[in-house]
């Protein structure tokens, strides 16, 4: 490791067991704004290492398609935020980092004052909706913390997170009505009908629960939430922007205002906390892929009794603890490049399990993890070469959990296949190869405590799916003929490499024979 | 009880503990065809007392609405079947009995031979789809058993059920390809978009799992299934009749044929079992509102190792056990009327819980029942007067479970309200009054083992919802003025009666004071 990058930065790897000072010497060197302009597809918002929550501003709402017609500009918004934009549509809780296709942007909040607008508006026409202008001068982004002032409303927004909870602190102008949008229709790579269903319950005047199910890159993505407010709701309401074809007998109620439950496909809701007491509103948003009850447990487990500032400090400490694994010397720019890159290696995969060990598996069923923490967002074609080998050096526990999550994924797969590209309990089949076998083989080679027989079994089943990307002919001939596909050479090379890693694992286990 | 109907039929109530002969003396007197023509809204198919499954032929597919326009003829098909029709579209697993609005018709199977058709067709044009003509001459309907011959295919179809499993036995013409439609789009009171999502996995060549979520009278109805076949699938396929606006990278596969998983909004699938071995195919369809794993447990718990004939005999015995509670004398017509009516009192409510005690509550969360069996389908305005009081006489355990289910419903409700009209874990708000309080009060008066304090609490919360059907003005004035609603007198009378039942319960508990 040192030999590769040490001569550039003078890096020393620190064993995690060494104690280091609590100074902000590492998080200070990270600039989350890097990669947020153009096609870097990073986000500037708050998260903790490998957390479920990436709480970040979204600056526009370009849909993936309109009536099935792909919108090329959607690609700019893979991570929701473009540095060149000068307005923000709100703060959503899930983001992909650095990907070339997209999804998520779940559960968007936007504080506002004055006139109620239930449309988001756009970056080019922010006044058409609840968008607000902002200046980068008011923006602070550091690991686990993001801050910006929303000019149109004069609201200072501060964000931090735990693994499973997004924490918002909004400071409204004195005497103004403290209002908030909760948009259950907003999403990245959105399209008409992406939200299959959204449900919202106002449990009491400081607690909401609900869920939404989307059909995007993650084919059936279930996001449950529990949202607590530091102040009581005075009044609230919703609109369903999609005219339902069937409403049954719910028309008996005025469901649009102060009615404590709603369901629909394009729900945008608003909450008014009045002008009284202080001008601050704290909002905690816990997510779960399992249930609203799971989200409530997640909410209570790690945030109860902590102030916003304490939670931001805890997030900062988590990042310092992980970033200190490399101690480097160099110019400020070199150190910023290194530590920001290191920061970017610890955003995805993300934990995908409630505090009680329950998680939603690839079979869309709820499972109980017995001996590992379940992770998701496996962009394996991007990560098999460097990320997992790096984690095997700097944090073996994480990669152990990740590899166990991948093997659980394979066992839950109807194909018995390791992840190709999967997120939120769904295989999305992006990119080529079956590089999950490389990740597992490397984990075995590096001595991670993985069940070897089980590992080899799913490596073999992953590499013998006849209906997967010309594997039938590859298994027969040992290569893919050009007549079959234009990328025959690339795919053949990927398969040959992947098979070599299976061979290495089998050989180390003393196995003989042909995988086919 | 005897004084009311005894002079008509000479009825004697038998204590359930008495032993009776195992002769089919009671099921022989039931004719499930009664009520299936015109607006009786009963179904002729197979079920067991209060079972989750009502496996019955559907004869047409008139949707509830087309582009939001109500289709008046849908009302004829509340229970899926009209005696006047001469063709059948298939056998679906859930039906309401005797209702004046509708839903369900989940998980339709249709055996066929010859040409594959993926559209259902209609009663008036059966050849347009997989519909088949039939003659009532080939039809047998008795409690727990239904049989018909599908003329177009020469397939004899026999149906029976357990509480949670529908069991099909199809006898195909000799030498014909044994084929089967599984239509995940079919439904009663269907409309374009009612199916929010359907998912299907071919786990192996004799087992399917999956689910579908519908947005109908039950606002978010989750139906999971596990389907086992007595013969291996030779080939299979699907179509999604709704063009998806986003498919991600699933286009890498030929998902339409022999690909083991599919998801979509209008999925119709087909399975081919070849011509080999015998001409019989047995299919077991287990449902669960909890999970596919729950459906698998339900499948294995009560059907493993039993033949179709044995299961039909068990269903028959279950009905005899319940029907024998009344021993009556009279003319054959009088006895058929009595025992068919008694049969109809034991179809809904229906059990809504897996064999392991897990169930989906009104909050859409999964709960574990500790000391009761959870039931659903509470058409309370129809049942508070007679059904629950009858059950208090003939089967107190059932009504105990039903009342406990209603109280659980209230505790899970964001309104803390007992059922008005609810089914499949969703309140549908049909009809007037809050007659759940009458059911609970009657249960207390008759000494069912219900927690009294908890019961009174939810009776009070059910009767004090200011936003429910003019309850605000009723609570203020003691009546609803005509200016508020055209049915002011009816609603006032219902509320006054309901409140009287609360008063009776409170008085018996020695409580004083005003409910408001």
Secondary structure in 3-state letters for B492-514:
HHHHHHHHHHHHHHHHHCCCCCC
Q: For residue A262, give every residue at least 6 positions away whose Cβ sits within 8 Å of its Cβ, in sequence order, or none.
A: A199, A200, A238, A240, A255, A269
- Contact criterion met (CB < 8 Å) for B201 and A469: no
Structure tokens at B348: 């809904």
d(C-alpha A99, C-alpha A54), whole Å? 14
- Assess contact for A190 and A77: CB atoms under 8 A: no
- Contact criterion met (CB < 8 Å) for B248 and A68: no
Pick the residue from chain A with its C-alpha nearest to B69: A245
pLDDT digits (tens, 9 = 90+) for B247-264: 999 999 999 999 999 999
Please report the pLDDT score of residue B515 as a whole number: 55
pLDDT digits (tens, 9 = 90+) for B47-100: 999 999 999 999 999 999 999 999 999 999 999 999 999 999 999 999 999 999
How many helices, marked H, and strands, marked E, lie in chain A?
A: 11, 28
User: Band of the pLDDT at A11, cuts 50, 70, 90?
Assistant: low
Question: Residue A396: CA atoms inside 13 Å, Cβ hemisphere, count?
Answer: 13
First-to-last C-alpha distance (Å) of chain B: 35
- Assess contact for A139 and A150: CB atoms under 8 A: no
Q: For residue A405, give every residue at least 6 positions away whose Cβ sits within 8 Å of its Cβ, in sequence order, or none.
A: A349, A352, A372, A373, A374, A375, A376, A378
Reported residue count of chain A is: 516
Nearest to B193 among A245, A365, A366 (CB): A245
| Gyration radius of chain B over CA positions | 24
Q: At residue A19, does pLDDT exceed 60?
A: no
Average pLDDT, chain A: 94
As to burial, measured by CB atoms within 10 angstroms (0-12 exposed, 13-18 middle, 19+ buried), residue A349 is buried
Task: Report the residue of B196, B246, B354 to disrupt the A interface, i.e. the one with the largest count of A CBs within 10 Å.
Answer: B246
- Assess contact for A154 and A176: CB atoms under 8 A: yes
- Contact criterion met (CB < 8 Å) for A365 and B260: no
Task: Report the residue of A101, A215, A466 to disrupt the B interface, i.e. the one with the largest count of B CBs within 10 Å.
Answer: A215
In this prediction the pTM is 0.95
How far is the alpha carbon of A261 from chain B, nearest alpha carbon, in Å? Answer: 7
Q: At residue A20, does pLDDT exceed 60?
A: no
d(C-alpha A30, C-alpha B491), whole Å? 66
Strands A69-70 and A145-150: unpaired
The secondary structure element, H or E, covering residue B170 is strand B165-171
- Contact criterion met (CB < 8 Å) for B252 and A429: yes
Structure tokens at A369: 């993890």
Question: Residue B105: CA atoms inside 13 Å, Cβ hemisphere, count?
Answer: 32
Q: Report the b/e string of A103-140 with b at 16+ CB within 10 A.
A: bbbbbbbbbbbeeebbebbbbeebeebbbbebeeeebe
Structure tokens at B408: 């659980």
Which residues of A fall within a CB distance of 8 Å from B193? 245
What is the arithmetic mean of pLDDT over A102-107?
98
- Contact criterion met (CB < 8 Å) for B254 and A429: no
pLDDT digits (tens, 9 = 90+) for A308-318: 999 999 999 99
Q: At residue B209, does pLDDT exceed 80?
A: yes
Pick the residue from chain A with its C-alpha nearest to B367: A293
Q: At residue B516, does pLDDT exceed 70?
A: no
Q: Is the peptide bond before B327 cis (omega within 30 degrees of 0)?
A: no
Average pLDDT, chain B: 94
Which residues of B fall within a CB distance of 8 Å from A244? 215
- Contact criterion met (CB < 8 Å) for B215 and A197: yes
Question: What values do phi and psi take at A409, rounded to 5?
Answer: -55, -50
pLDDT digits (tens, 9 = 90+) for A283-293: 999 999 999 99
Q: At residue A202, does pLDDT exceed 80?
A: yes
d(C-alpha A44, C-alpha A79), whole Å? 9
Query: Coil, helix or strand for B328?
Result: coil
- Contact criterion met (CB < 8 Å) for A467 and B365: no
- Contact criterion met (CB < 8 Å) for B263 and A220: yes
Please report the pLDDT score of residue B276 as a whole number: 83
Which residues of A fall within a CB distance of 8 Å from B364? 199, 211, 292
Q: At residue B16, does pLDDT exceed 50?
A: no
d(C-alpha A223, C-alpha B192), whole Å? 25
Strands A267-272 and A235-240: antiparallel
Structure letter (DSSP) for residue A478? S
Q: At residue A358, does pLDDT exceed 70?
A: yes
A18-32, B27-41, B228-242, B287-301, range with the lowest pLDDT? A18-32
First-to-last C-alpha distance (Å) of chain A: 36
Q: Tell me, what's the ipTM? A: 0.94
- Assess contact for A438 and A384: CB atoms under 8 A: yes
Q: Which residues pair with A269 in a beta bridge?
A: A182, A238
Q: At residue A218, does pLDDT exceed 90?
A: yes
How far is the alpha carbon of A214 from chain B, nearest alpha carbon, in Å? Answer: 10
The secondary structure element, H or E, covering residue A405 is helix A396-412
- Assess contact for B149 and B134: CB atoms under 8 A: yes
User: Band of the pLDDT at A8, cuts 50, 70, 90?
Assistant: very low
How far is the alpha carbon of A484 from chain B, nearest alpha carbon, in Å? Answer: 13
How far is the alpha carbon of A340 from chain B, nearest alpha carbon, in Å? Answer: 31
What percent of chain A is modeled with pLDDT above 90?
92
How far is the alpha carbon of B161 from chain A, nearest alpha carbon, in Å? Answer: 26
Nearest to B260 among A364, A414, A429 (CB): A414
Question: What values do phi and psi take at B156, rounded to 5?
Answer: -90, 125
How far is the alpha carbon of B227 from chain A, nearest alpha carbon, in Å? Answer: 15
Count other C-beta atoms under 10 Å from residue B451's C-beta: 12
What is the arithmetic mean of pLDDT over B154-173?
98
- Contact criterion met (CB < 8 Å) for A428 and B467: no
Please report the pLDDT score of residue A303 as a whole number: 86
Q: At residue A450, does pLDDT exceed 70?
A: yes
User: Band of the pLDDT at B8, cuts 50, 70, 90?
Assistant: very low
d(C-alpha A461, C-alpha A443), whole Å? 18
Please report the pLDDT score of residue B1 as a whole number: 31
Q: Is the peptide bond before B349 cis (omega within 30 degrees of 0)?
A: yes
Q: Report the b/e string of A54-79 with b at 16+ CB within 10 A.
A: bbbbbbbbbbbbeeeeeeeebbbbbb
d(C-alpha A188, C-alpha A79), whole Å? 8
Contacts across the A-B interface (CB distance below 8 Å): 126
- Contact criterion met (CB < 8 Å) for B249 and A68: no
| Gyration radius of chain A over CA positions | 24
pLDDT digits (tens, 9 = 90+) for B473-505: 999 999 999 999 999 999 999 999 999 999 999
Nearest to A215 among B197, B217, B291 (CB): B197
- Assess contact for B12 and B3: CB atoms under 8 A: no
**What are the Cα distances from residue B305, in Å, to A124, B205, B284, B308?**
67, 19, 12, 10
Please report the pLDDT score of residue A24 as a whole number: 57
Q: For residue A282, give every residue at least 6 positions away whose Cβ sits within 8 Å of its Cβ, in sequence order, or none.
A: A167, A168, A169, A170, A229, A230, A308
Which residues of A fall within a CB distance of 8 Å from B263? 215, 219-220
Which residues of B fall within a CB distance of 8 Å from A215? 197, 244, 246, 263
Nearest to A260 among B250, B260, B415 (CB): B415
Count other C-beta atoms under 10 Å from residue A225's C-beta: 25
Pick the residue from chain A with its C-alpha nearest to B252: A469
d(C-alpha B78, C-alpha B59), whole Å? 11
Which residues of A fall within a CB distance of 8 Å from B429? 248-250, 252-253
Question: Residue B311: CA atoms inside 13 Å, Cβ hemisphere, count?
Answer: 29
pLDDT digits (tens, 9 = 90+) for A461-503: 999 999 999 999 999 999 999 999 999 999 999 999 999 999 9
What is the arithmetic mean of pLDDT over B172-197?
97
Which residues of B fall within a CB distance of 8 Å from A203? 414
How far is the alpha carbon of A98 from chain B, nearest alpha carbon, in Å? Answer: 18
Q: Which residues pair with B112 in a beta bridge?
A: B179
| Closest C-alpha among A427, A415, A295 to residue A361 | A427
- Contact criterion met (CB < 8 Å) for B215 and A246: yes
User: Band of the pLDDT at A12, cuts 50, 70, 90?
Assistant: low
Q: At residue A1, does pLDDT exceed 70?
A: no
- Contact criterion met (CB < 8 Å) for A414 and B191: no
d(C-alpha B185, C-alpha A203), whole Å? 34
Which residues of B fall within a CB distance of 8 Å from A96? none
pLDDT digits (tens, 9 = 90+) for B409-426: 999 999 999 999 999 999
- Assess contact for B379 and B100: CB atoms under 8 A: no
Please report the pLDDT score of residue A243 as a whole number: 87
Torsion A427-A431-A432-A437 (CA) sign: negative
Task: Report the residue of A196, A246, A254, A486 to disrupt the B interface, i.e. the one with the largest count of B CBs within 10 Å.
Answer: A246
Q: At residue A348, does pLDDT exceed 80?
A: yes
Q: At residue B291, does pLDDT exceed 70?
A: yes
- Assess contact for B366 and B290: CB atoms under 8 A: yes
Structure tokens at B479: 């009546």
- Assess contact for B51 and B39: CB atoms under 8 A: no
User: Band of the pLDDT at B34, cuts 50, 70, 90?
Assistant: very high
Task: Report the residue of B192, B202, B222, B245 to disrupt the A interface, i.e. the one with the largest count of A CBs within 10 Å.
Answer: B245
d(C-alpha B216, C-alpha B196), whole Å? 10
How far is the alpha carbon of A273 from chain B, nearest alpha carbon, in Å? Answer: 21
Count other C-beta atoms under 10 Å from residue B370's C-beta: 7
Structure letter (DSSP) for residue B157? E
User: Band of the pLDDT at B21, cuts 50, 70, 90?
Assistant: very low
| Closest C-alpha among A465, A473, A470 to residue A436 | A465
Question: Residue A239: CA atoms inside 13 Å, Cβ hemisphere, count?
Answer: 8
What is the arithmetic mean of pLDDT over B276-297?
95
């Amino acid at each position: 490791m040192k030999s590769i990058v040490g001569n550039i930065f003078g890096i020393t790897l620190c064993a995690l067991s060494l104690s280091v000072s609590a100074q902000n010497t590492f998080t200070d060197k990270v600039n989350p704004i890097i990669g947020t302009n153009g096609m870097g597809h990073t986000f500037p918002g708050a998260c903790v290492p490998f957390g479920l929550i990436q709480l970040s501003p979204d600056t526009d709402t370009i849909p993936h398609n309109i009536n099935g017609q792909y919108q090329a500009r959607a690609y700019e918004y893979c991570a929701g935020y473009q540095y060149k934009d000068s307005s923000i549509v709100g703060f959503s809780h899930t983001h992909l980092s650095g990907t070339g296709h997209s999804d998520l942007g779940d559960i968007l909040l936007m504080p506002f004052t004055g006139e109620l607008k239930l449309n988001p508006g756009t970056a080019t026409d922010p006044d058409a909706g609840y968008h607000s202008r902002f200046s980068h001068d008011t923006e602070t982004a550091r690991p686990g913390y993001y801050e910006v002032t929303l000019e149109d409303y004069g609201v200072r927004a501060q964000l931090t997170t735990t693994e499973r909870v997004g924490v918002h602190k909004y400071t409204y102008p004195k005497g103004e009505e403290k209002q908030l949008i909760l948009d259950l229709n907003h999403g990245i790579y959105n399209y008409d009908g992406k939200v299959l269903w959204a449900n919202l319950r106002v449990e009491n005047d400081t607690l909401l629960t609900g869920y939404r199910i989307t059909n995007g890159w993650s084919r059936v993505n279930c996001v449950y939430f529990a949202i607590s407010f530091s102040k009581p709701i005075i009044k609230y309401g919703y609109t369903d922007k999609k005219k339902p074809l069937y409403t049954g007998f719910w028309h008996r109620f005025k469901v649009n205002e102060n009615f404590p439950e709603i369901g629909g496909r394009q729900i945008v809701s608003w909450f008014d906390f009045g002008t009284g007491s202080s001008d601050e509103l704290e909002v905690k948003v816990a997510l779960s892929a399992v249930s609203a009850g799971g989200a409530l447990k997640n909410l209570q487990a790690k945030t109860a009794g902590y102030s916003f500032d304490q939670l931001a400090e805890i997030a900062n400490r988590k990042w310092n603890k992980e970033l200190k694994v490399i101690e480097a010397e160099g110019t400020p720019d070199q150190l910023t490049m290194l530590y920001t890159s290191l920061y970017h290696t610890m955003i995805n995969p993300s934990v995908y399990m409630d505090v009680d060990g329950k998680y939603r598996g690839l079979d869309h069923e709820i499972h109980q993890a017995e001996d590992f923490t379940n992770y998701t967002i496996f962009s394996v074609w991007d990560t098999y070469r460097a990320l997992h080998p790096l984690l095997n050096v700097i944090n073996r526990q994480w990669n152990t959990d990740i590899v166990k999550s991948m093997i659980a994924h394979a066992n839950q797969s109807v194909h018995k296949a390791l992840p190709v590209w999967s997120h939120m309990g769904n295989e999305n089949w992006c990119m080529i190869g079956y590089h999950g076998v490389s990740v597992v083989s490397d984990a075995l080679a590096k001595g991670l405590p993985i069940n070897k027989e089980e590992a080899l079994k799913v490596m073999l089943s992953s590499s013998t799916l006849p209906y997967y990307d010309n594997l039938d002919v590859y298994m027969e001939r040992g290569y893919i003929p050009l007549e079959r596909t234009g990328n025959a050479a690339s795919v053949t090379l990927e398969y040959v490499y992947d098979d070599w890693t299976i061979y290495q694992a089998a050989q180390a286990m003393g196995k003989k024979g042909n995988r086919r």
